[in-house]
């Protein structure tokens, strides 16, 4: 689609990027069929092709209203449409730009402004951890709607302290260590069992995705620069071989630092190097499958599990089938799951901002995941794990927690 940029966007990095992405779209509509919000709402403007057209209008300076903002808000940024698109349209980058533009042009109602601000500040603040712990202590007394956002506490167990010649950085993150600290602990024990040391830099933190996807690109970049500064001494000294990110939503963000900071002369080169080092745990562990098989033996054999591949893993990072292959090689029986390409409705802060759509997608996903009665549901992203767990009695875990338990290295 040819787009003539409005003067305010012409010759800006965002304008030129948007123009380039829009040029690739041939308006064929293949993407519409696999869009979860289009499937539910059936409105062209709630599918990728319609949203792309709305962003084209924004780019050209056409007058837009709250209605356009609402259609962009309803998008999950699941990027399923990118996987479907035969023309390589980078929809995720385009919608981020469109959201920034409309945020600057359309004032939100006060209530929305307040909740978005509270999410941006609250989820990444230092008091989120203590507040979550308090919520977990009184979880049984909380009203249902709040209880759904507070996962039951699981003790993390012992953190390994052995030094190894293989060394990686583990992202400190923000909500994950507060909500389910057991995930990081399990990750570190699995790595340790494979003689890989993991270090967490206390001065690092949120990957920036929370602010970035709430149309606060500058806030997201502040987080990115802080993490790069924290990790850089280890990187230039050659002390680490990878930055392991065990929440796929954060992984996709860090892999994008190179793109997001490409126009910052002070950080562009470093950001590219950091992005190249970022790895989902499966990218490190898949090649160690034989060793893991030896270590696990019969511990996981025949266990019926359902795997939910987060959108940020399959559509964002384009990692498909790798965790499933590893689990199968280790003896688990993976039950079939219909429509595994579709989003579960978690999508970062989406479940708070769009509860009706998010709830509908959760029900559909849980019905597909539980259809063949698995003993456990496994996934690879904190958001999906807590969101799904709030709707089912079947235990929902990170696949590294499953592996940690089967390796038998977990200690109370």
* Shortest distance (Å) from residue 52 CB to ligand SF4: 6
Q: Which one, 247 or 357, has the nearer CB to ligand SF4?
A: 357
Minimum CB separation of residue 31 from ligand SF4 in Å reads: 3
In degrees to the nearest 10, what's the CA dihedral of 114, 223, 124, 313? 100
Residue 253 near ligand SF4 by CB under 6 A: no
- Of these, 19, 69, 77, 312, which contacts ligand SF4 (CB under 6 A)? 77
Which residue lies nearer to ligand SF4 by CB, 312 or 370?
312
| DSSP string across 238-292 | T--SEEE-SSHHHHHHHTTHHHHTTT-TTTHHHHHHHHHHEE-HHHHHGGGHHHH
Regarding 91 and contact with ligand SF4 (CB under 6 A), the answer is: yes
Determine, following the binding rule CB under 6 A, whether residue 321 of this chain makes contact with ligand SF4: no
Residue selected from 4, 87, 125, 363 as contacting ligand SF4 according to rule CB under 6 A: 87
Tokens at residue 62, please? Answer: 């056409």
Please list every residue from 5 through 34 that binds ligand SF4, using CB under 6 A. Answer: 25-31
Query: How far is 345 from 156, CA to CA, in rounded Å?
Result: 27
- Number of residues in contact with ligand SF4 under rule CB under 6 A: 26
Q: Where are the beta strands (DSSP E) in 36-171?
A: 166-170
* Among 79-87, 279-287, 374-382, 401-409, the segment contacting ligand SF4 (CB under 6 A): 79-87
Q: Which is nearer to ligand SF4, 92 or 177 (CB)?
A: 92
| Percent of residues in the chain assigned helix, strand, coil, to nearest 5 | 55, 5, 40
Question: How is residue 25 written in tokens?
Answer: 């779209």
Residue choice 5, 18, 89, 182 for contact with ligand SF4 (CB under 6 A): 89
CA of 264: how far to CAs of 5, 177, 259, in Å? Answer: 23, 30, 10
Q: What is the distance between the alpha carbons of residues 51 and 261, in angstroms, rounded to a whole number?
A: 25
Q: Give the x-and-dash track for 32-61 against ligand SF4 (CB under 6 A).
A: ---xxx----------xx-xx---------
State how far the Cα of 249 lies from the Cα of 227, in Å rounded to an integer: 16
In sequence order, what are the beta bridge partners of 307? Answer: 378
Residue with smaller CB distance to ligand SF4, 319 or 361: 361
Complex with ligand SF4: residue 36 or 309, whichever CB lies closer: 36
Q: How far apart are CA 275 and CA 278, in angstroms?
A: 5
Which distant-in-sequence residues (6+ apart) come within 8 Å of 85 by Cβ? 30, 31, 48, 91
CA–CA dist 244, 169 (Å, integer): 6
CB 30 → ligand SF4: shortest distance, Å?
A: 4
Report the nearest approach of ligand SF4 to the CB of residue 82 (Å).
7
Judged by CB under 6 A, the stretch of 75-83, 98-106, 153-161, 217-225 that binds ligand SF4 is 75-83
Q: Are 179 and 132 in contact, with CB atoms under 8 Å apart? A: yes
In whole angstroms, how close is the CB of 316 to ligand SF4 at the nearest point?
10
Separation CA 238–CA 259 (nearest Å): 23
Instruction: Find out whether 116 and 385 touch, Cβ atoms under 8 Å.
Output: no
Q: Which of 22, 59, 64, 75 binds ligand SF4 (CB under 6 A)?
A: 75
CB of 48 to ligand SF4, least distance (A): 4
φ, ψ dihedrals at 196, nearest 5°: -125, 120
Site stretch for ligand SF4 (CB under 6 A), options 80-88, 169-177, 197-205, 371-379: 80-88
Shortest spacing between CB 86 and ligand SF4, in angstroms: 6
The CA dihedral of 230, 236, 238, 241, to the nearest 10 degrees, is 60
Per-residue x/- mask for ligand SF4, residues 109 to 148, rule CB under 6 A? ----------------------------------------
Interface region with ligand SF4, contact rule CB under 6 A, candidates 84-92, 109-117, 129-137, 252-260: 84-92
Q: Which residues bind ligand SF4 (CB under 6 A)?
A: 25-31, 35-37, 48-49, 51-52, 75-81, 84-85, 87, 89, 91
């Amino acid at each position: 689609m040819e787009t003539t940029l409005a003067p305010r966007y012409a010759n800006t990095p965002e304008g030129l990027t948007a123009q380039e992405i829009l040029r690739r779209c041939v308006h064929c509509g293949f993407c519409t069929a696999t869009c979860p919000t289009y499937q539910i709402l059936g409105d062209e403007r709630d599918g990728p092709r319609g949203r792309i057209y709305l962003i084209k209008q924004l780019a050209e300076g056409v007058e837009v209203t709250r209605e356009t903002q609402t259609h962009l808000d309803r998008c999950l940024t699941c990027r399923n449409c990118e996987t479907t698109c035969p023309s390589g349209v980078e929809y995720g980058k385009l919608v981020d730009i469109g959201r920034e533009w409309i945020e600057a042009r359309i004032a939100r109602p006060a209530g929305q402004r307040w909740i978005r601000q509270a999410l941006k500040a609250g989820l990444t603040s230092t008091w989120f951890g203590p507040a979550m712990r308090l919520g977990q202590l009184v979880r049984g007394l909380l009203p249902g709607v709040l209880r759904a956002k507070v996962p039951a506490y699981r003790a993390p167990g012992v953190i390994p302290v052995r030094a190894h010649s293989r060394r990686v950085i583990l992202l400190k993150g923000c909500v994950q260590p507060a909500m389910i600290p057991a995930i990081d602990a399990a990750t570190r024990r699995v790595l340790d069992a494979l003689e890989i040391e993991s270090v967490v830099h206390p001065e690092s933190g949120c990957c920036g995705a929370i602010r970035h996807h709430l149309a606060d690109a500058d806030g997201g970049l502040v987080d990115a620069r802080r993490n790069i500064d924290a990790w850089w001494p280890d990187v230039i000294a050659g002390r680490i071989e990878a930055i392991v990110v065990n929440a796929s939503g954060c992984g996709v963000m860090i892999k994008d630092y190179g793109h997001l900071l490409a126009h910052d002369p002070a950080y562009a080169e470093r950001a590219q190097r950091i992005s190249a080092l970022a790895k989902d745990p499966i990218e490190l562990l898949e090649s160690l499958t034989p060793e893991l098989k030896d270590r696990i033996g019969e511990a996981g054999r025949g266990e019926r599990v359902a795997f939910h591949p987060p959108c940020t893993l399959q559509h964002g990072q384009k990692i498909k089938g790798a965790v499933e292959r590893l689990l199968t090689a280790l003896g688990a029986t993976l039950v079939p799951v219909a429509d595994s390409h579709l989003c579960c409705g978690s999508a970062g802060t989406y479940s708070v901002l769009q509860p009706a759509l998010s709830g509908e997608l959760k029900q559909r996903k849980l019905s597909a995941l539980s259809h063949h009665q698995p003993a456990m549901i496994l996934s690879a992203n904190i958001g999906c794990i807590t969101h799904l767990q709030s709707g089912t009695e079947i235990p929902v875990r990170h696949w590294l927690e499953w592996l940690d338990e089967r390796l038998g290295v977990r200690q109370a």
